[in-house]
Structure 1
Amino acid sequence: MIFYLARQPIFNTKKVLYAYELLFRDGFDNAFPAIDSDEATQRLIENSEFSSGIEALTGNSKAFINFTEESICSGLPELLPKRSVVVELLETIRPTDEVFAAVKSLKEKGYTVALDDFEFSPQWARFLPYIDIIKMDFRLLSITQIKQQMSAHKGFKGDYLAEKVEDYNEFSEALKLGFIYFQGYFFARPEIIQRRSLSASQKVYMELLEKVTAEDYNPDEIAAIVERDTGVSYKLLRFVNSAFFARQSDITSLKQAVVRLGQQEIRKFVAIIATASLGESKPNELTRLSIARARFCEQLAQTDHRYGAEPGTAFLSGLLSKLDALMDDELEHLLNHIHAGNSIRSALLSKKGAIAFFLSTAESIERVNWDSITRAANKLKLPEKDLIDMYQKASSWAASVQN
Structure 2
Amino acid sequence: MVHPENVANDNYNTKIGIVGLGFVGLPLALLFAEKGFKVTGIDVDNNKIEQLNNGISYLPDIPDSYLQRAVFLGNLVGTTDYDMIKALDVVIVCVPTPLTTYKNPDLSYLQLVGKELAPRIKNGQLIILESSTYPGTTEEVFQPMLENSGLKVGKDFFIGYSPERIDPGNKKYKVDEIPKIVSGITDQCLSKISTLYKKVFKKIVPVSSSRVAEFTKLLENSYRFINISFINEMAMLCDEMEINLWEAVAAANTKPYGFTPFYPGPGAGGHCIPVDPLYLVWKSNHYGIDSKMIRLSDEINDQISNYIVKNITNFLSEKEEKKVLVYGVTYKKDIDDVRESPAIKIISQLHLNGIGVSYHDPYVSKIKVGNKSYSSVNLTKTVLSETNCVLILTDHSEIPLENILEHAELVYDVRNVTNGLSGKAKIIRLGGGGQ
If asked which structure has higher relative contact order (CA below 8 Å, sep 6+), I would say 1
Q: TM-score normalised to the size of structure 2?
A: 0.30
Normalising by structure 1, report the TM-score: 0.31
